[in-house]
């Protein structure tokens, strides 16, 4: 798991990471900006995701949009935003590396001259439509918003979704958006990884040529929150246009790379990964109370969320599912995980580590992994340390972390039921209000 790389920081603060891989004549260019929805403030949410869109609309010296020139050169490209970071990537033929670096540098250093009111209002409408499609008009789509607003205080940067709140997006002004870009999208808050069919010395020269002239500026202030987060149980109800009721259970959990994060990752695998997993075997196969079940430890920089989701089979209530889930969590907390279960989950995670390193680019490829580790822990070569967290976990430590974090008294339980079928929800659930 020791991936060879060179890291060099330019005078303006931009980290440049280079990994040579001559297996295929392609190069991955990957940029992470250490900005996500957690860097926004109440009343002005959705800016980070909005910029994911705006930064594909062209910059000062290439103002015809970002996709066409690169796709003409044979590139694949995309981007994404979450609570903690925004990333952009291109995978190009080796001969098109100059083009990719030039375009990335132009939108990093020269985006604002091309950011017109027309572009801003157009992409804001696109984001509002995306919110309608992916959340408001999608079955079960509003659960994430209800859960985050219940888990976190109203001023906590994880209390809103990355897509942003409608009224905030509608109230946003162009000058505010420009100011957000100046604060967060400079080289001192970015990390550039170039991986593939390259030579280190030549690539570092190219990076200096294209990026070093961009003004660095101060690094943005770190986001600070009061902690630890404590949550009393809340039961929420959402009536939706769905066929089957679904139960969402969520708890506060350790932050990314924090103590207990790896243990809950392993536990999520034990509980729901595959037909032999505990909850799938019990809920779906043996008792036939559910049609599906999934468990995930969503690790973030400030804090994590451990979530269990199960859809009730026809004729069954969400209380039946909740009773079985609670029993399984009690068994885990009592240190009843077997050696075989833990070993199987560890093998799954080790396999995932290896599979992610099979490609140089794209989401989760080598360039993305190097950037992720560099941004979060300032060490692109964190692979082996990361994997060792899982190898050192035991059933006893998983039991202890479960007792600390997964109590019924510290959870948010959201019942989503068909319209008019509130009797299928957990008892004492109150209607969720989502903004």
- Per-residue pLDDT of 240-291, as tens digits, reads 999 999 999 999 999 999 999 999 999 999 999 999 999 999 999 999 999 9
Kind and range of the H or E element at 181? helix 174-184
Exposed (0-12), middle (13-18) or buried (19+): which is 59, by Cβ within 10 Å? buried
CA dist., res. 371 & res. 17, Å (int): 8
Place 229 in a pLDDT band, splitting at 50, 70 and 90.
Answer: confident
Place 190 in a pLDDT band, splitting at 50, 70 and 90.
Answer: very high
The confidence score (pLDDT) of residue 256 equals 97
Parse the chain into domains and list their residue ranges: 6-211, 234-431
Tokens of 240: 């939706």
Per CATH, the homologous superfamily of domain 234-431 is Metalloenzyme, LuxS/M16 peptidase-like (3.30.830.10)
Comparing 26-30, 190-194, 231-235, the range with the smallest average pLDDT is 231-235
- Per-residue pLDDT of 150-168, as tens digits, reads 999 999 999 999 999 999 9
Looking at the structure, give the CATH architecture of the domain made up of residues 6-211.
2-Layer Sandwich (3.30)
Q: Is the pLDDT of residue 79 over 90?
A: yes
Q: Is the pLDDT of residue 434 over 90?
A: no
CA distances from 393 to 266, 313, 330, 332 (A): 8, 34, 19, 14
- Per-residue pLDDT of 307-329, as tens digits, reads 999 999 999 999 999 999 999 99
Q: Do the strands 26-33 and 190-196 form a parallel or antiparallel pair, or are they unpaired?
A: antiparallel
Tokens of 373: 């580790």
Q: Is the pLDDT of residue 405 over 90?
A: yes
The confidence score (pLDDT) of residue 228 equals 66
CA distances from 239 to 140, 142, 144, 153, 373 (A): 9, 10, 14, 24, 41
Q: Is the pLDDT of residue 216 over 90?
A: no
The confidence score (pLDDT) of residue 231 equals 80
Q: Is the pLDDT of residue 80 over 90?
A: yes
Residues 97, 30: contact at Cβ < 8 Å?
Answer: no
- The C-alpha torsion from 364 through 365 and 370 to 372, rounded to 10°, is -10
The percent of residues above 70 in pLDDT, for the chain, comes to: 100
């Amino acid at each position: 798991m020791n991936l060879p790389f060179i890291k060099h920081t330019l005078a303006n603060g931009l980290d440049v990471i280079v990994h040579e891989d001559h297996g295929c004549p392609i190069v991955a260019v990957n940029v992470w900006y250490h900005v996500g929805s957690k860097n926004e403030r109440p009343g002005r949410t959705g800016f980070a995701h909005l910029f994911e869109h705006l930064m594909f609309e062209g910059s000062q010296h290439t103002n015809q949009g970002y996709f066409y020139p690169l796709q003409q050169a044979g590139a694949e490209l995309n981007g994404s935003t979450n609570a903690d970071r925004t990333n952009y990537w291109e995978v190009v033929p080796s001969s098109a590396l100059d083009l990719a670096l030039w375009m990335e540098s132009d939108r990093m250093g020269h985006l604002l001259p091309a950011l017109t009111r027309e572009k801003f209002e157009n992409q804001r409408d696109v984001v509002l439509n995306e919110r309608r499609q992916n959340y408001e008009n999608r079955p079960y789509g509003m659960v994430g918003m209800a859960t985050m607003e219940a888990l976190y205080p109203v001023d906590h940067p994880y209390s809103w979704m990355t897509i942003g709140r409608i009224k905030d997006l509608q109230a946003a002004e162009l000058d505010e958006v420009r100011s957000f870009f100046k604060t967060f999208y400079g080289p001192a808050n970015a990390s550039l990884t170039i991986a593939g069919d390259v030579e280190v010395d030549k690539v570092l020269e190219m990076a200096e040529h294209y990026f070093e002239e961009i003004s660095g500026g101060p690094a943005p202030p770190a986001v600070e929150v009061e902690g630890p987060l404590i949550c009393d149980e809340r039961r929420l109800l959402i009536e939706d246009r769905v066929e089957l009721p679904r139960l969402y259970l969520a708890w506060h959990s350790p932050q990314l790379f924090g103590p207990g994060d790896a243990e809950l990752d392993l536990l999520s695998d034990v509980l729901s990964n595959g037909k032999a997993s505990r909850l799938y075997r019990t809920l779906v196969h043996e008792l036939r109370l559910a049609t599906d079940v999934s468990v995930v430890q969503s690790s973030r920089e400030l804090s994590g969320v451990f979530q269990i989701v199960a859809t009730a089979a026809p004729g069954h209530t969400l209380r039946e599912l909740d009773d079985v889930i609670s029993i399984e969590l009690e068994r885990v907390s009592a240190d009843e995980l077997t050696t075989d279960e833990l070993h199987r989950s560890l093998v799954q995670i080790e396999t995932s580590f290896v599979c992610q390193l099979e490609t140089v680019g794209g989401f989760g490829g080598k360039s993305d992994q190097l950037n992720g580790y560099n941004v979060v822990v300032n060490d692109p070569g964190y692979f082996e340390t990361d994997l060792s967290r899982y190898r050192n976990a035991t059933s006893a430590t998983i039991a202890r972390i479960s007792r600390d974090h997964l109590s019924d008294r510290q959870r948010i339980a959201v019942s989503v039921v068909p319209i008019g079928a509130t009797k299928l929800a957990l008892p004492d659930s109150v209607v969720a209000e989502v903004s």
